[in-house]
Amino acid sequence: IHGVWPDHTSFVMYEFNPLLAYCLLQDNILTELDARWPQLTSTKIIGLQFQRFWEYEYRKHGTCCADVFNQSMYFDISMKLTDSIDLLKILRTKGIKPGYTYTGDQISRAIKSVTQNNPNPKCTYIGRSFELNEIGI
């Protein structure tokens, strides 16, 4: 996971509240969250102790929906979403494997055939070709 951006069918939720306090996550949720949303910006020990990446993501995106979901609920929802949509498994099942060339349409169709939603694949131009680096769901 890079992040979880709250959204609503009737309006955009982008009014974040940087003043809202972040509470360090404790105990069982740390292990569960780290397994699904590792903090790749630091070592595991530092990440679990200081939680800077999770704090950043929560302050930037989670506070947008703080009037509906508290911090604990925000991270719980992110883990449930991760468990419900295993993109790598979906792509493998549909015959799309790392190291090979596919079109954006092939990737999108494979994901949509399982999720019933239009994904948003994003690529980066590296060398002489594009590489898939993110898929928005």
Give the pLDDT confidence of 109-127 residue by residue, as tens digits. 999 999 998 998 888 888 8
Active-site residue, 15 included = no
Residue with tokens 């494979």: 110
Cβ–Cβ under 8 Å, residues 74 and 122: no
Active-site residue, 55 included = no
Specify the pLDDT at position 7. Answer: 73
CATH number of 1-83: 3.90.730.10
Specify the pLDDT at position 42. Answer: 86
Summarised one tens digit per residue, pLDDT across range 67-102 is: 888 999 999 999 998 888 888 889 999 999 888 889
Question: CA end-to-end span of the chain, whole Å?
Answer: 11
Active-site residue, 131 included = no
Which of 8, 32, 61, 134 is catalytic? The answer is 61
Q: Where in the chain is the domain with CATH 3.90.730.10?
A: 1-83
Q: By C-alpha distance, which of 30, 52, 49, 33 is closest to 41?
A: 52
